[in-house]
Structure 1
Amino acid sequence: MDKYLPPTPGELAEHPNRFARIEDWIQSARAAWSVWGGHTPHVIPYTGYGSTTWMRVLSRVVLLKPRTTKTGRLKKIRGWRSFLATPLAGAPVTVSVNGSSFVVEADRGGVIDQVLPVTLSPGWHTVTLHSGDNPAVTAQVWIVDPAAEIGIICDVDDTIMVTALPRPFLAAWNSFVRDENARRPVPGMAVLLERLTRENPLAPVIYLSTGAWNVAPTLHRFVSRHLYPMGTFLLTDWGPTADRWFRSGREHKRENLARLAEEFPHITWILIGDDGQHDEALYGEFAASHPDHVRAVAIRELLAPEALLAGGRRHLDRTQNPSKIPWVSAPNGSGLATQLRKLGIISQDSAHRF
């Protein structure tokens, strides 16, 4: 049992932020109590991405009662159980792919977010992750083809999934209460993304959201159920950081946009979001600083009740677009497809399928 014990407060990384230190202490105490109660490390795998020379592996290590299916796979963790599962800071995880193995370590929130050097061919690959004595789990990783020219970055809440909730309560409701069966897709958005990926089969698909990693399995099932193209979810970890009392979702998006531009300098991105948060401002900022990396921006216009719950619309001054990057907006996927067709970004045949 000792090998599962979490780091002591003295072993945890030092943080200048008092709230971060308090959170570390609480999580350490929770982990110790969970281990005493017979919980063991379980890896929750997330879809990753990479190039032919490296891959970004994403997963989360939590302490749970050992429960497996007949095939030895970890049973699903849903809703509030996923959110309340105790993360295991510093947990070692063995990552294996294509004959290579690496040992990585979970961060203070139990999250594995590591770039590993490995040679892989373009397309989907299966990665094996293992921690402790529980059965290994597998994750999918999309290796981007060097010939890829287009990529897709898409927001989640109110862009592909209707939330209709005040922003302060949105994450809690989605995490603790709602099952993916109860979530409604935004009309036409699944078809729009499917057409974009059909016309650009090499395109990586990135779902960039301010949501917590705890809800990643639920979002993955939602995307699968409603026939959105599979892709990588880049979410964030709730709670304080070294220099903030609460993590900034806006900074999370900004940093990942810049990172993707640096990782794939040959790709221009189609950016999809909504006008209820900061997507317009962030995409405009990214387009201004990385004009050669943006193919187009598509903004879903919230309906009046949705905009009210989201805290109002945040319109960008589009006259400040010196690079003249194509920018379209509409209340649903069909409207966005029509405008993208006029700009030649999707074919006329695809637009007529809505």
Structure 2
Amino acid sequence: MPQTAPPPSVTTQTTSSQRPHRAARLEDRWRAVVSRFQKARGWRPRVEPFTGYGSTRRVRVLGRVLLASPAYDPTATADRRGWRYFFTAPASREEVRVHVGDAVVDVWSDRSGYLDVTVDVELPPGWHDVTFRPASGELVTGRVLVVADGRRLGVVSDIDDTTMVTAVPRPLLAAWNTFVRHSSARVPVPGMAVLYQGIASANPGTPFVYVSTGAWNTAANLRRFLQRNAYPPGPLLLTDWGPTNTGWFRSGREHKNTSIDRLVQELPDVDWLLIGDDGQHDPEIYTRAARQHPDHVAAIAIRQLTPTQQVLSHGSPLPTPGDDAHRPEHEAPVPAAQGPDGSALARSLAQALAAYRR
């Protein structure tokens, strides 16, 4: 591929101009050593495509470039234990040719191998293929969801303890669920898939976007879980658990805030139903979104964890008295629903969703 700068129709994800944190610099040095060793042994770049999204005029394309051994077999990766997904070799600064619709662009992976690019392209609503070809690797195909123009309902859903029972963020249980269990052993939250199916059926063209603080390494596992349990398909917006320019770890709350803000900006015709649980910070995050974007948040739905699940999640049977998300002055300026499962949430949401039923 020619070494050219991205064309004006392409916007790549930007990073802070400040010097990276010491942890990130150390990680980069280690990765450079490992990468040289692996390439010397015949490892070549491969792209793991993630599901993108966008409007009929611009789409966001997502993926990650990894180094794969000559013996790599993509068919052997299904339903592995979670820890295996974290033993990856990211390929930084790799050039990849992306083809979506009639647009062809050359992009470069970031320091952790991620591709995050927006492309100006005319596409009809629905699902479309995206192809990725590394400069020295095989072509792979991903997908992008194009949302139709016009006012419509959309769903932003958390994953942990909202669609699946996870018991996050207690470290030992979270580690067991994330690193040890097979995806087929994960347990869905009762009634949530039926709730989502009902929303999709009553509101054709509803985009579903799953926003979680989980690692991108688990994306394939999560996609299989959602598909196996009949959740509507949609993009996953996850995080990279490695060091950043500012510290050892990323902020999960900042990731969710930024993701929702970006969805509102990129899909301004969508009124978002925000669905999460009260085991972490979803009530606070969603209330902030409703206050920041009152014309773009239709309602908030919070799955209530049982007292036992509350203990497993944050060590106490009830939210702490000082938790701002549960104080009256922080109530959201939009309809709100609560319930222990999908059936209860469906009943509580009935009035708020009635306005979108055709």
CA contact (8 A) 1:45 1:59 kept: yes
Amino acid at match of 1:36: A
- 1:209 and 2:209 equivalent? no
Equivalent position SS for 2:353: coil
CA contact (8 A) 1:196 1:346 kept: no
Structure 2 partner of 1:223: 226
Distance 1:26 1:268, change over 3 A: same
Distance 1:117 1:334, change over 3 A: same
- 1:135 and 2:144 equivalent? no
CA contact (8 A) 2:19 2:245 kept: yes
Instruction: From 198, 211, 215, give the equivalent of 1:195.
Output: 198
Amino acid at match of 2:77: K
- 1:93 and 2:96 equivalent? yes
* Alpha-carbon separation, structure 2, partners of 1:59 and 1:171: 25
Distance 1:31 1:133, change over 3 A: same
Q: CA deviation at 1:74?
A: 6.1
Amino acid at match of 2:49: P
Instruction: From 65, 68, 72, give the equivalent of 1:64.
Output: 68
Structure 2 partner of 1:118: 121
CA contact (8 A) 2:290 2:334 kept: yes
Distance 1:277 1:147, change over 3 A: same
Alignment of 1:1-354 (within 5 A): 15-67=19-71, 75-76=76-77, 78=80, 79-164=82-167, 166-169=169-172, 172-311=175-314, 312=316, 313-314=318-319, 316-317=325-326, 319-320=328-329, 324-341=333-350, 343-346=351-354
Equivalent position SS for 1:94: strand
Distance 1:148 1:137, change over 3 A: farther
RMSD after superposition: 2.4
Gaps of 5+ in 2: 1-16
Deviations 1:237-271 (A, max 9, x none): 11221112211111000111111111122211000
Amino acid at match of 1:273: G
CA contact (8 A) 2:154 2:270 kept: yes
Q: CA deviation at 1:91?
A: 1.3
* Alpha-carbon separation, structure 1, partners of 2:284 and 2:348: 20
* Alpha-carbon separation, structure 2, partners of 1:317 and 1:277: 12
CA contact (8 A) 2:97 2:135 kept: no
Q: CA deviation at 1:16?
A: 3.7
Aligned length: 334
* Alpha-carbon separation, structure 2, partners of 1:23 and 1:318: 41
Q: CA deviation at 1:14?
A: 7.3
* Alpha-carbon separation, structure 1, partners of 2:194 and 2:100: 33
Equivalent position SS for 2:127: strand
Percent identity, aligned pairs only? 45
Deviates more, 1:19-28 or 1:277-286: 19-28
Amino acid at match of 2:159: V
Gaps of 5+ in 1: 1-12, 350-354
Deviates more, 1:158-167 or 1:249-258: 158-167
Q: CA deviation at 1:346?
A: 4.9
Distance 1:21 1:133, change over 3 A: closer
Amino acid at match of 2:144: V
* Alpha-carbon separation, structure 1, partners of 2:215 and 2:266: 23
Distance 1:104 1:173, change over 3 A: farther
CA contact (8 A) 2:43 2:67 kept: yes
* Alpha-carbon separation, structure 1, partners of 2:18 and 2:43: 26
Amino acid at match of 2:43: H
* Alpha-carbon separation, structure 2, partners of 1:74 and 1:107: 26
* Alpha-carbon separation, structure 2, partners of 1:166 and 1:326: 27
CA contact (8 A) 2:299 2:352 kept: no
Distance 1:23 1:59, change over 3 A: same
Equivalent position SS for 2:261: helix
Distance 1:175 1:322, change over 3 A: closer
Deviations 1:94-123 (A, max 9, x none): 111223211111111111111111111111
Amino acid at match of 2:40: W
Deviates more, 1:322-331 or 1:295-304: 322-331
* Alpha-carbon separation, structure 2, partners of 1:187 and 1:317: 25
* Alpha-carbon separation, structure 2, partners of 1:259 and 1:344: 24
Q: CA deviation at 1:132?
A: 4.0
Distance 1:196 1:247, change over 3 A: same
